[in-house]
Structure formats: structure tokens, C-alpha cells
Amino acid sequence: MSRLLEIFDRGTGGSCDKWRHYFEIYERYFNKFAGSQCTYLEIGVQGGGSLSIMREYLGDRARIVGIDVDPACARLAQPGREIHIGDAANGNFLNEVAAKTGPFDIIVDDGGHVADQQLVAFFSLFPHLNYGGIYLVEDLHCQFWYGYQASRFGINFYDFAKGLVEKMALWNIDLGLLNRYKQPHENRQGTVQLNNFAVHDLFGIHFYDSVVVLEKRRIPEPLSQVK
């Protein structure tokens, strides 16, 4: 049994609802931060139990930050645990929180579970994630439930994440195919400008039942092959 699951089963105060297989996923990616001076941000405070679990797991050196749209969650703030009240579908609000509390090492989106909120949160907060950091979106099974499918973007987070997979290989795409008025490889910097996010910042995407994990790491241009 994972240490996180042991903490959950024992209880730390507050309440939260989690699928049990989430804890193995958390520990796989969060373990390297345990005991370190890191900043953890979670969207969706609910009863505060999840923040309490992460406080114990990550240790006293961690900064624990929560976001929730429900003003009642403000009462859950305590020393070592900050609560910010606002809508995670509001990019301006998220940028304000990031300016006050970021950059972050771990971001967990357990908020509204709708695509509009998840996508706005990702585009707002991923730039504030440290290199080596983890961005985790959970409860994605909700996209199959009535009332969660509608999105002004016309896409859900599963589809968005799947669409990023091939973009991680953009360093290897012939720029001439993308910009025909230039010769192939004439300006490799143009490839970076074409999709700076995908080329520079996304090391890996991992898919699990109801969970997508994205690893942020600066990826240099592959100048040579290893044979």
C-alpha cells in the first residue's frame, strides 16, 4: 500500500472523495518532492481533506495552496495552508493567484470537471509550473456524464491531451513542410516560434483511468542521434 493511501485511510482531518487508484498515480509523480521545499497547488478544495493529506505527505517545507469557487472554503485556511476563492475558469483570477503564490512544482486540477474550466486552468497555470514539475488533471471520466460535455472550445481535456502527443515531436518536423516559402531547415528557430509550448516545455504525457499527467521539462533541440 502506498504511503499516501495509508494517510488517506487513517484520516488527517477534513474530507475528500478519491478513487483509490489515484493514490498510486500521485505517489509515482509526487514522491520526488516529498520532504523538499516545493509548492503544491490544488484546484478544488471541497472539505480540505486532500490538502491535509498532501501537507503530511510532502512535509513541513512544502507550501500548500488551494483554489475553490465556494466562499465557504475560506474557513479551511490555516497556518501552512492557503485558500484562494475564485473561479478556476477565469484566467485573470488564476494569473493573480500564480503571481502571489507561484511558481508551482505540482498542480492538481480537481475542480469543476468541465472542459472549459480545465482548459482555461491549464493554459493559465502551466506557464507558472517549474521545470521538472507535474500537472495532473483528474476525474476525467466526468466527460462521459450528462451535463459535463458541453464546451465553448468544442473539445474535452482528453482530446486536447491526445492532440499534444504528436506535437512533442515538432523538433523533427521539416519546417519546409509547415512554411513552404522557406527552405527546409533554413530557420530552425522558426519551428520553436511555431509552437514554443510543445517544443520546449512538454516532456511527457501519461494517460490513466480518469487521469492525465503532464511533465514539464525544457527539451533542447536534438542535434544528433545516438547510435
| Contact between 127 and 218 (Cβ < 8 Å) | no
**Cα–Cα distance measured from residue 161 to residue 143, given in angstroms and rounded to the nearest whole number:** 14
Asked: is 3-141+152-159+201-216 a CATH 3.40.50.300 domain? The reply is: no
| Contact between 175 and 184 (Cβ < 8 Å) | yes
| Contact between 214 and 127 (Cβ < 8 Å) | no
Active-site residue, 21 included: no
Residue 150: predicted pLDDT: 60
As a whole-number percent, the residues of the chain with pLDDT over 90 amount to 55
Is the link from the previous residue into 103 a cis peptide, with omega within 30 of 0? yes
> What grid cell was written down for 99?
503571481
State how beta strands 104-109 and 39-43 pair: parallel
| Structure-model confidence comparison of residues 115 and 211, the more confident one | 211
- Across 72-140, the runs of DSSP E, i.e. the strands, are 81-85, 104-109, 129-137
Where on the phi/psi map is residue 128: left (φ > 0), alpha (ψ -120 to 50), or beta? alpha
| pLDDT bucket at 2, cuts 50 / 70 / 90 | confident
pLDDT tens-digit map of 49-94? 899 999 999 999 999 999 999 999 999 998 889 999 999 999 999 9
Residue 190: predicted pLDDT: 40
Residue 184: predicted pLDDT: 41
Catalytic residue among 21, 113, 141, 200: 113
- Across 26-103, the runs of DSSP E, i.e. the strands, are 39-43, 63-68, 81-85
For the chain, what are the domain ranges? Answer: 3-141+152-159+201-216
- Across 69-195, the runs of DSSP E, i.e. the strands, are 81-85, 104-109, 129-137
Tell me the mean pLDDT in the region 30-45: 96
| pLDDT bucket at 19, cuts 50 / 70 / 90 | confident
On the question of pLDDT at 183 being above 60, the answer is no
Residue 11: predicted pLDDT: 83
On the question of pLDDT at 5 being above 60, the answer is yes
| pLDDT bucket at 195, cuts 50 / 70 / 90 | very low
Residue 148: predicted pLDDT: 64
In angstroms, the Cα distances linking 193 to 31, 34, 100, 200 are 34, 36, 29, 10
Residue 147: predicted pLDDT: 67
Residue 174: predicted pLDDT: 62
